Amino acid sequence: MRRIVSIDGTWLLKGKYDDTLLVASVQDEDFHQYHLAWAVVDVESIASWSWFLTKLLEVVVDEEDLVIISDRHSGIIAIVADVYKNAHHEFLDENDSLDQWTRAYSPRSRYQNASIASTTNFTPTIESILRERYNFGRGYQVYELGRLQFDVRSATNSDIGDLESKRCTFREFEIDKIPCSHEIAASYFCDVNFYSLCSEYYSVMIWSLAYSETIYHVLNQNEWPVDDMLVLPPVIKRIRGRKKQNRFSSVREFGRR
């Protein structure tokens, strides 16, 4: 799996005690969600997140190339650095994603008449993204700056890319490990197969390895390993008035319920 772990908590559990669900998840090579761990706690707090992350540490090793993503909940901020001392912790301020592919430009005849391979060794989602970016690259003006370095310009912006180091001004190439539409246009300009610029992480072979081990069903309840301890129900604190039905909106998030 990609070494980016997303952690979050939600209070939208229906029941007598209004418990909170804590979840840690990752993405596989085809951007499917893969849940690593989850737990039901009474409330999001430093104590609950400390317990959850300490358990998570037993299966997700603390290393420098690990990134943990969360919102700015005070309980998470206070404890992540204490449990995961080597990993990087990044925050999300909003839930909306930036759509970078809403513009269309006039086609360039030589580029438009080209075709990309009908089958590849990459996952279906990556294949779809590459085809979409390939189409957006039509009409881009490519200027050669040096060996495998190009200035690729559209109607509204320009991007300087280096196909050898796999870097570009927008940093999509560097972060996602797949070429953006500018680098695809540059690769066509210098007759380089842009599929060779993609990380092997997104290959079907690596994708299959993520699920190569047997995934067993949950055992019957009478076979669950249970610690010899007494767990008491949480203290219920009923808030006066009508119960809240909708969550608070994130920064710059409008129109969603």
pLDDT tens-digit map of 73-110:
777 887 898 999 999 998 876 543 323 222 222 223 33
Q: Within a domain: residue 101?
A: no
Task: Say how far apart CA 235 and CA 255 lie, in whole Å.
Answer: 35
Task: Say how far apart CA 101 and CA 93 lie, in whole Å.
Answer: 22
Same domain? For 123 and 193 the reply is yes
Domain range spanning residue 118? 109-205
Q: Within a domain: residue 137?
A: yes
Question: What's the pLDDT band for 256 if we cut at 50, 70, 90?
Answer: low
Q: Within a domain: residue 194?
A: yes
Same domain? For 198 and 146 the reply is yes
pLDDT of residue 245 exceeding 80, the answer is no
For the beta carbon of residue 10, count every other beta carbon within 10 angstroms: 11
Q: Structural domain tally of the chain?
A: 2
Q: Within a domain: residue 231?
A: no
The residue type at 2: R
Same domain? For 41 and 113 the reply is no
The CA-atom distances, in angstroms, between 182 and each of 18, 64, 126, 148 are: 49, 31, 16, 13
Does residue 143 sit in helix, strand or coil?
strand
Same domain? For 11 and 89 the reply is yes
pLDDT at 68: 93
Q: Within a domain: residue 41?
A: yes
Question: What's the pLDDT band for 18 if we cut at 50, 70, 90?
Answer: confident
pLDDT of residue 257 exceeding 70, the answer is no
CATH of the domain at 68: 3.30.420.10
Does residue 253 sit in helix, strand or coil?
coil
Q: Within a domain: residue 155?
A: yes
Q: Within a domain: residue 184?
A: yes
Q: Within a domain: residue 245?
A: no
pLDDT at 204: 92
Same domain? For 150 and 176 the reply is yes
pTM above 0.85, yes or no: no
For 190-204, what is the mean pLDDT? 90
Answer with the residue of higher pLDDT: 248 or 29. 29
Same domain? For 70 and 144 the reply is no
pLDDT tens-digit map of 115-172:
444 456 899 999 999 999 999 888 899 998 888 889 999 878 888 988 888 888 888 8
**Residue 6 contacts residue 25 (beta carbons within 8 Å):** yes
Task: Say how far apart CA 129 and CA 172 lie, in whole Å.
Answer: 13
**Torsions phi, psi for 196 (to 5 deg):** -70, -15
Same domain? For 49 and 18 the reply is yes
Same domain? For 86 and 125 the reply is no
